[in-house]
């Protein structure tokens, strides 16, 4: 069912041009279909701000749930922004206070770039804790992406992320290990997910916090977990929302930083590039060193890439939207219906 373009956010027009159904508000109001209000706390840096909007809105809008999706974007005051990004936020995003007052049916919290190993020293830590604490009691379900997963695990459960010797970076095969949960209904037993992180929360840490791990990788570790009640928190460590070229853009960024003397030379993302594409990038690297790099060969690389994760991402988000639809009602300030057991809203007999 469609997203509703309830403001002038440019991402709506971009998705409409891609063929996604996006309804104007006037048309949406004449359809007798229940609406769901989804919040997105976008903590990504300026360069990835709009892309992250687009990636998560696309997944929500591709859901087959019988609902109209009003998406409410907001950010945090502790995140440094350039003038252009701040103007975008000021124009299209909403204050957290307004969202908290109106209530949400579900919330997505994105990852973020951090400096240093400790989350508690980040300038956005206290505002993020406020959002998490509110969501835990007021929002039926919150989906945490990557760093947001690490933040909830530390803030609510004292489980701190563990730095890895090498970056978990690339496209990794995962397997479903809890196939009775509604979130993995009709999901292939084996599926791919991109990862891009230096830190990890292990299966043992999730289980120590009372959570259930639904899918993991032998190489990359846990990707998908849920809180003990099956719905209140959904945890991603990977990035199933990524576009086809997201990892390639990260490689370009890190390669240019290395060339500028900022950081180590990046490896190729694992299980993502074939030998021909690696050879093209190796040639670009050599030209970069020689001072005659020219344009980054993104078009040459992109034509050979394959997206092996998006269908599974769609299925999981579709299942999530369907579960949310079953436990919410029209008054978002009262997130659970009378007949729902908040301790086990999905009625799962583990």
pLDDT digits (tens, 9 = 90+) for 57-100: 999 999 876 788 999 999 999 899 999 999 999 999 999 999 99
pLDDT digits (tens, 9 = 90+) for 172-218: 999 999 888 889 988 999 999 999 999 999 999 999 999 999 999 99
Specify the pLDDT at position 336.
Answer: 56
Specify the pLDDT at position 66.
Answer: 77
Residue 233 has pLDDT above 60, yes or no: yes
**Rounded to an integer, what distance in angstroms lies between the CA atom of residue 111 and that of residue 164?**
17
User: Over the chain, what is the mean pLDDT?
Assistant: 91
Specify the pLDDT at position 158.
Answer: 97
**Rounded to an integer, what distance in angstroms lies between the CA atom of residue 85 and that of residue 90?**
9
Specify the pLDDT at position 230.
Answer: 87
- The fold of 3-243+307-327 is Rossmann fold (3.40.50)
Specify the pLDDT at position 279.
Answer: 97
pLDDT digits (tens, 9 = 90+) for 291-329: 998 999 999 999 999 999 999 999 999 999 988 987 886
3-state secondary structure (DSSP) of residue 298:
helix
3-state secondary structure (DSSP) of residue 350:
coil
Which ranges in the chain are annotated with CATH 3.40.50.880? 3-243+307-327
**Rounded to an integer, what distance in angstroms lies between the CA atom of residue 311 and that of residue 319?**
12
Specify the pLDDT at position 335.
Answer: 54
Secondary structure (DSSP) of 30-93: TS---EEEEEEE----HHHHHHHHHHHHHHHHT--SSSEEEEEEE--TTS---HHHHHHHHHH-
Question: What number is the average pLDDT over the span 29-55?
Answer: 90
Q: Alpha-carbon Rg of the chain, whole angstroms?
A: 20
Torsion angle, alpha carbons of 342, 343, 349, 350, to 10:
140
Residue 339 has pLDDT above 60, yes or no: no
What amino acid positions are annotated as catalytic residues?
A: 146, 239, 241
Comparison of pLDDT for 335 and 24, the residue scoring more: 24
Residues 6+ apart with CB under 8 A from 287: 293, 294
Specify the pLDDT at position 28.
Answer: 72
Residue 257 parent element (H or E): helix 246-259
């Amino acid at each position: 069912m469609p997203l509703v373009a309830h403001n002038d956010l440019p991402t709506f027009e971009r998705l409409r041009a891609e063929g996604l159904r996006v309804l104007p508000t006037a048309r949406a109001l004449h359809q007798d279909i229940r609406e769901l209000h989804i919040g997105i706390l976008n903590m990504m840096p300026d360069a990835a701000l709009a892309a992250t909007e687009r990636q998560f809105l696309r997944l929500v809008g591709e859901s087959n749930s019988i609902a109209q999706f009003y998406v409410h974007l907001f950010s945090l005051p502790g995140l440094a922004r350039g003038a252009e990004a701040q103007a975008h936020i000021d124009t299209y995003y909403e204050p957290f206070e307004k969202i908290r007052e109106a209530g949400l049916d579900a919330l997505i919290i994105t990852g973020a770039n951090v400096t240093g190993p400790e989350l508690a020293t980040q300038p956005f830590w206290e505002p993020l804790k406020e959002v998490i604490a509110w969501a835990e009691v007021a929002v039926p379900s919150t989906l945490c992406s990557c760093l947001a997963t690490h933040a909830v695990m530390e803030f609510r459960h004292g489980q701190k992320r563990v730095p890895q010797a090498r970056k978990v970076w690339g496209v990794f095969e995962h397997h479903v290990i809890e196939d009775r949960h509604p979130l993995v209904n009709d999901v292939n037993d084996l599926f791919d997910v991109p990862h891009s992180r230096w830190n990890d929360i292990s299966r043992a840490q999730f289980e120590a916090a009372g959570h259930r791990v639904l899918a993991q990788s032998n190489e990359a570790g846990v990707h998908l977990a849920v809180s003990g009640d099956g719905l209140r928190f959904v945890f991603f460590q990977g990035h199933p929302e990524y576009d086809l070229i997201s990892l390639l853009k990260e490689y370009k960024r890190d390669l240019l930083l290395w060339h500028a003397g900022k950081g180590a030379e990046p490896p190729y993302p694992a299980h993502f590039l074939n030998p021909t594409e690696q050879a093209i990038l190796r040639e670009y690297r050599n030209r970069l060193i020689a001072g005659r790099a020219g344009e980054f060969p993104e078009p040459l690389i992109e034509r050979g890439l394959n997206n092996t994760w998006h269908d599974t991402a769609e299925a999981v988000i579709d299942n999530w939207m369907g579960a949310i639809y079953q436990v919410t009602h029209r008054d978002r300030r009262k997130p659970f219906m009378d007949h729902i057991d908040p301790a086990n809203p999905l009625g799962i007999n583990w």
